[in-house]
Structure 1
Amino acid sequence: MELNTIQPADGSKKARRRVGRGIGSGLGKTAGRGHKGQKSRAGGYHKVGFEGGQMPLQRRLPKRGFKSQNLKFNGEVTLGQLEKLGLAEVDLLALKQAKLVAQIVKTVKVIKSGELKKAVKLTGIGATAGAKSAIEAAGGSLN
């Protein structure tokens, strides 16, 4: 094998379509573009979503909703989960190690769901009004 004899495999290279080269080629005259209209002309095309001047679908439909990207940094823990955890002092790191909240979470709030019988001291963790009263009733505290 020598450099001047190397060729691509048969059928691996397809000749590009040569348009506008006469009737016999099958792609003469209009060169596969059909007759008249915007798409037949050089440089004539439309932007994405254009419907020929009709009000486009994305403008006909109402704007609706919004979801903040900051929500992914918030986490929730229930009273039942705190009971199961069984720690006397709970902070964000302890919740992450127990896999009750995701690693990306920065702020955690305790919600009133389930029961808490043990006294738990929370540091750096928020709580709803109902959860706060339940924690304090069990002898725990929030910092």
Structure 2
Amino acid sequence: MPLQRRIPKRGFKNPFRKQFAVVNVGDLQIFESGSEIGVQQFLETGLVRRFFEGVKLLADGDVSSPFTVHVHKASASAIQKIEAAGGRVELIPPPEKKD
């Protein structure tokens, strides 16, 4: 029997895991200062190609302009960075699933 069949598989793959499209704080610099940014703007600019369970904002990068960002989830450090620049993060409900 080949070696790859003798060695057991590792870990657990959760079939119900929720996947989010990720946008980093540093990516927001392409938008104008003071603008409202939502999921539609992410799709139009190509920052998000498609989202599974929604869009999540993460804190990689720096932001110097104030923005109002509408996302489904955001990390605590991303919210701190946006608010430190004078903006705000508004959490929106997750999109409804299509059957």
Common topology (TM > 0.5)? yes
Q: 1:99/1:70 Cα in 2 relative to 1: closer, same or farther (>3 Å)?
A: farther
Match of 1:63 in 2: 9
SS of corresponding position for 2:71: coil
AA of the residue aligned to 1:80: G
**In structure 2, do the counterparts of structure 1 residues 70 and 94 end up closer, same or farther at CA, with 3 Å as the change threshold?**
farther
* Shift of residue 56, structure 1, vs aligned partner: 7.5
Shift of 1:78: 1.2
| Structure ID, larger Rg | 1
CA change 1:96–1:69 in 2 (3 A) is farther
Structure 2: unaligned runs, 5 residues or longer: 91-99
With over 3 angstroms needed to count, the CA separation of the structure-2 counterparts of 1:58 and 1:93, relative to structure 1, is same
User: Is 2:20–2:52's contact at 8 Å kept on the other side of the alignment?
Assistant: yes
| Structure 2 counterpart SS, 1:123 | strand
2:41 maps to 1:85: no
Q: Which runs of 5 or more structure 1 residues have no equivalent in the other structure? A: 1-54
Match of 1:101 among 48, 53, 64: 48
TM score, norm. by length of structure 1: 0.51
Tell me what 2:64 maps to.
117
For 1:71 and 1:102, locate their aligned partners in 2 and report how far apart those are by CA, in whole Å: 20
Matched, 1:75 2:28: no
Of structures 1 and 2, the one scoring higher in RCO (CA 8 A, sep 6+) is 2
How many angstroms apart in 1 are the aligned matches of 2:31 and 2:18?
23
The alignment's C-alpha RMSD in Å is: 2.7
Structure 1 residue 93 displacement after superposition: 1.1
How far does residue 61 in structure 1 lie from its aligned partner after superposition? Answer: 1.6
Moved over 4 A (4+): 55-59, 66-73
C-alpha deviation, 1:84, in angstroms: 1.8
Q: Check the 8 A contact 1:72/1:104 in 2, yes or no.
A: no
- For the 8 Å contact 2:57–2:71, the answer to whether it is kept is no
Q: CA deviation at 1:67?
A: 4.6
Q: CA deviation at 1:83?
A: 1.4
- Provide closer, same or farther for how the CA distance between residues 117 and 69 of structure 1 changes in structure 2, counting only shifts above 3 A: farther
